[in-house]
Structure 1
């Protein structure tokens, strides 16, 4: 009897575990798929009102106007008249899959001990079973740059798609970029060290910048030497210096961004991206001159400076676009993993504050793809690219109408069911029964 009770308990645990697991990744595409009649938002500013989209073996083979074509539609046909088709949205600078529950240490793998950690790779810590990652798909967020946090040099990010068995299946671009947290020239007083509260000059700023420059110089000397003694952090810098790995510098202040531009020149960094850039508008001309794109932080926040316009976070992306910069949107900050599902609505807010709707869409499609270096495979609905897309009942940048009916990642049709949709249906049924 005792044995049977134990067996029952283990069976129950196994059953509950299966009930709460992520949706099983979709099977590979086996037949062509044809989507007819939808308004296709290509992702590069172009719109096709009555579109014909065909993809097979995970790649787009036709994206065109369906009005005049007489071709026979191959494979499975989806009638999408009155609906909208979009490329999968791309979330840069994200810790999705690195932390599941903030209060549970065993699920938090976004940071490592140390300061200069270019050899740390976020990819191998990425959890494809994350329920948070799963919840991105019903809003059309299908690709992300998984980024470590902490230290002066946090480590190396990789780019994944959100339907996979493990990180090896998920990866689209491995070790795409190095992430650096630039020092602040002003900082809040550290009360735990007896400093007065409030903003004050960081007297260590020059030394902190010098420390970073010295690390780059030492790494370059190591790579040019005989390498008799293995040094993993220095060795990890090789692809930074040869241009195969981009450098993403997380920085906000005007002075700091100016120093970053000089840092780029001093170390001959061809591929550098500013992440955050709250005061980037003040040095926009210098950023444009040095071909530095900006990943602007989400607009749903308060202004960083007391003398900023109240709506500066809402309109910053538009103002930078008007200056001729390549601009994308990222979602870091409080509750960033859960809030990443709001990425399309952040773009919608930017559109509401002056940027034309299709230009706002580019901030989370082709612009982000270009900034991350994956525009050859993602970011637009174009022949030859991955068939990563979704069909929405309405405007995907409006939370009232972004209701998805179909999602495809690399041609595989992905389930829209998540832990949250299950709970939604459960409680909707409860209230529907009570109202009868």
Structure 2
């Protein structure tokens, strides 16, 4: 259904008709807020990064519950949210007060729609992506289709119910992940106790992914893995993005079944995080902040290498050689190549892998369920927010879960 074929009760309105820019300045005593792509508006101290805000906050904007807040320079990436909190945000954000005819939660969901984000992208101004910004004057001109207020409220209830299920499922995955990790540590200590060691570059080929942001004429659009896709012990493909790559570079960056993917760092919890790529998407590449380790399988199995990299001993190596600033840490390919890895016999490695496959069975099933729920939510959100599917149909889907 095109946007011109929305239900008759829906109205096409400019965002400026339903969102007035709030320009109330802070007095400096209010709590500092931030906006993230996934969690929306949250207290700044929950972001997990050092507070870089200026001491003087008289130029900051006030935020009230129900306001829509967006990152002026990252709205083209969908960084916005509806606030449940009172506080202040830096001048890098735009704060909007909703009219009585709109539900701010509905707008928060609407602003995550790919079609709407594309409008933000087209209306953003700047020479390069680092300077693109969506000023309120341009934002206010963007047209969207809005259902009646009561239908907005019911759509929010459906999507919020799915979000709650997704969060519960995330916690289940986290719980089983901790159990699997503990078992892995115990078994690794047994199998590596008297094993010989070798430098990683002696038993594996190490490379990195494609650098994002460059202009590529022609080429081919490929799905790629970001740092967010590479989790501790598994690869999450529930949210994939694409990048244009020169055809001559595809063979260089193309991932193979069995590649061990490790993150170079950033936030400390991402340092050396990784798992084994299973080729579920082909062709597929990864970004340059991810190392690709292609093991010599006759010497070291990929699954064993990934388990060792994620072990306490492996993490200690990464933390010991990483370049660190406050809560950020990174490693480079030279340091990764020099990593000493234990080499028990292939038979011992295979036995360890079989044991881990048994205990990972439940975890993998829970990860698959998480991906299905997120896929369902994304599809249902697109249908509801365009009027393609009406609320009663969506409610029946949610109730059947």
Task: Give the TM-score category using the shorter length.
Answer: under 0.3
Larger % of helix: which?
Answer: 2
**TM (normalized to structure 1)?**
0.22
Higher relative contact order, structure no. (Cα contacts within 8 Å, ≥ 6 residues apart) = 1
**TM (normalized to structure 2)?**
0.23
